[in-house]
Structure 1
Amino acid sequence: MAIKIYKSTRGARKKASIVDRTDLYRGEPMKSKLMKKTATSGRGSAGKITTRHRGGGVKRNVRLIDFGQEKAGIPGTVEHIEFDPNRSAYVARIVYADGDRRYVLAWTGAAEGSKMISDVKAPEKEGNRMQLQNITPGLSVFNVELKAGRGGSLFRSAGSYGIVMDIQDQYAQIKMASGEVRLISKQSYATIGSVSNPDWRLQKIGSAGRNRRLGKRPNVRGKVMNPVDHPHGGGEGAQSIGLKYPKTKWGKHANGVRTRKPQKYSNQFILERRKNKKKK
């Protein structure tokens, strides 16, 4: 879908854009697949802020998405493509041959009337779901199970996908968007294609108020704080941070520092580390 650019009728509209959603279903979502969402405003179980810059926003209901798609061998038809306020991708309302209706992640090219099926082995068509061992290397996949039987957990945001590089022994080699090549059990299920709404990354928020409705609170730069509040603070006028490297508010290294544990159990499944971006 195309990007819709708003007219600059006021300050909040200048440079603001949104993905055109005129082709989406405008009716009500399925009530049986809705669940109340409780806002935490970035606070943990102790009531203290664990994630900053969160709070407020418009109330939403969670759509219960079938990430596992356990209805094996039963063909389904796309009844509607719907907008989900909780994720960047669209969701497809599937009506199965037995009459059951469920939400699944919509794939690029999905439309009302599109057919799909989930099985151990199925035709290699966009929207069909099958085990990785039956997918031809070179194809794009999304909603991939990291562990077999636990439902899809990889490549679920708008426009994302992985590439099946090879199938060897008990594992399939999947290439991530970062360039990392990871080993995943060939018994795991994956959906052919890529996630819908790839233009989502091109839209521009345009105003602070729009971010607040999304539940995002202001992010103040450490450079404009006082020295007591941030290591970057202090100085007269526009000053540099005055440090050899940037720091977090709590004095730790920031920007480009690896946070992954050196001896993590899943290191054995990483065949090739991600590529670091080259500086221009």
Structure 2
Amino acid sequence: MQICVRLNQLKRQIRYKGNNNRDVFRNQFPSKKGRWQPFAKYSDIYEYTTEPLNFHRTGGRGPNGRIWNHKSGKGVKREFRWIDFNRTRFLDTSNIEDVYHERVAEFFFDKYSRTAKIALVINGINKRWIIACEDLEIDQIITTSCYIPDTPIFGLIGNAYPVGALVKDTIIHCLQSKVDADANLFRAAGTYGQIIDSTLDGKHVLIRGNDQRNHTVDKHCIATVGRVSNIEHDKERFTTFGQKARFGIKQRSGVWHKKRVHKLQPRTPVVINPKYMEKSNYYKMVLPYEDNLPKTSWTDWPQSYYDDRVKDI
């Protein structure tokens, strides 16, 4: 009872202090409709698993139950599959010659959750989801190594190497921007990076992405050879309103039309002021009528006949 009385007192105090304070009050007491949940990393809630996890969607609403983003909706129910972006997780990094082998068990593609295909790889009791690259096949053995030889090598599709171990012009994806971190570059469908120069200063490698941006990373950063699968993703287009709604994008009014604020008037013709012209260069020629033409030949016409009809402007 005391708590209810105290809340009513707070409401009375805030009611006369402006809208900003009322917004603060509402943020402290979220809506009871259950449409919003606090955001948290899956690693803080679960242990790694290959089973599908719940994917909560806010529908564009904030903690107070009001719409914060008018362009996002609920969409279809989707399941999240946890991708392991650290290929060296089960690798003994203290032994530079250690190689970790895995077998590709299956592929999975969910267009509502991720643009690229994913692959389930297995090694004994360990299994995980990774980003599938182009030309990767089932039952293919892929390896992960952190050894950098003296002479650069040609990497195999699906294998992970340090970027300092690969030759120039090698196509890579799932690149680490920092050593011993998760890969955060070239993960979307059809993306890739190309090694441009591996001899900058002996410690870093220059990589250019398919968006023509350059990235400089440490030579010990791990990358996977190949291009991300589903390379035709950039050519896909939304065709219906329902298709956008299933992806969680709210519908628009329809086909885009050019907006005009007022009627476009035709441009006025160019006007040249005669006073800025040189009179000696412009003449007005007047042709005689047939009635006034002399009957004799034009060679017999007097000079005064021309002087009267040639005038300066």
State the TM-score, normalizing by the size of structure 1.
0.64
Identity of aligned residues (%): 23
Residue 235 of structure 1: CA displacement?
3.7
Summarize the alignment of residues 194-233 of structure 1 with structure 2, pairs less than 5 Å apart.
194-219=227-252
Summarize the alignment of residues 119-268 of structure 1 with structure 2, pairs less than 5 Å apart.
119-121=145-147, 124-167=155-198, 168-169=200-201, 170-219=203-252, 235=261
Deviates more, 1:43-52 or 1:83-92: 43-52
Aligned length: 200
Secondary structure, aligned partner of 1:211: helix
Which deviations, in whole Å up to 9, do the C-alpha atoms of 1:109-164 show, x marking residues without a partner? 11211121111138710100111111111101101111111111111111110101
1:9 maps to: none
Distance 1:220 1:121, change over 3 A: farther
2:52 maps to: 34
Distance 1:66 1:31, change over 3 A: closer
CA distance in 2, matches of 1:52, 1:138: 44
Residue 42 of structure 1: CA displacement?
3.4
2:78 maps to: 60
Distance 1:119 1:54, change over 3 A: same
CA distance in 2, matches of 1:142, 1:49: 37
1:71 aligns with 2:90: yes
Candidates 70, 81, 92, aligned match of 2:107: 81
Give the structure with higher Rg (CA): 2
Residue 88 of structure 1: CA displacement?
0.7
Which deviations, in whole Å up to 9, do the C-alpha atoms of 1:148-183 show, x marking residues without a partner? 111111111111101011122221101022212121
Where structure 2 has 5 or more consecutive residues not aligned to the other structure, the ranges are 1-47, 92-98, 149-153, 265-313
- Give the letter for the 1:61 counterpart: E
Contact 1:81 1:92 in 2 (8 A): yes
Contact 1:130 1:190 in 2 (8 A): yes
CA distance in 2, matches of 1:173, 1:220: 45
- Give the letter for the 2:215 counterpart: R
Distance 1:68 1:126, change over 3 A: same
1:91 aligns with 2:118: yes
Residue 35 of structure 1: CA displacement?
1.6
Which deviations, in whole Å up to 9, do the C-alpha atoms of 1:45-87 show, x marking residues without a partner? 6666554411120111110001112222221111101113311
Higher RCO (CA 8 Å, separation ≥ 6 residues): 1
RMSD: 2.7
Contact 1:57 1:214 in 2 (8 A): yes
State the TM-score, normalizing by the size of structure 2.
0.58
CA distance in 1, matches of 2:213, 2:66: 35
Distance 1:32 1:191, change over 3 A: closer
Residue 220 of structure 1: CA displacement?
5.4
Residue 204 of structure 1: CA displacement?
3.1
CA distance in 1, matches of 2:251, 2:160: 41
CA distance in 2, matches of 1:93, 1:216: 29
CA distance in 1, matches of 2:190, 2:253: 30
Richer in helix (by share) = 2
- Give the letter for the 2:220 counterpart: Q
Residue 202 of structure 1: CA displacement?
2.3
1:112 maps to: 138
CA distance in 1, matches of 2:53, 2:170: 35
Summarize the alignment of residues 4-23 of structure 1 with structure 2, pairs less than 5 Å apart.
none
CA distance in 2, matches of 1:42, 1:124: 44
Contact 1:33 1:102 in 2 (8 A): no
Distance 1:121 1:44, change over 3 A: farther
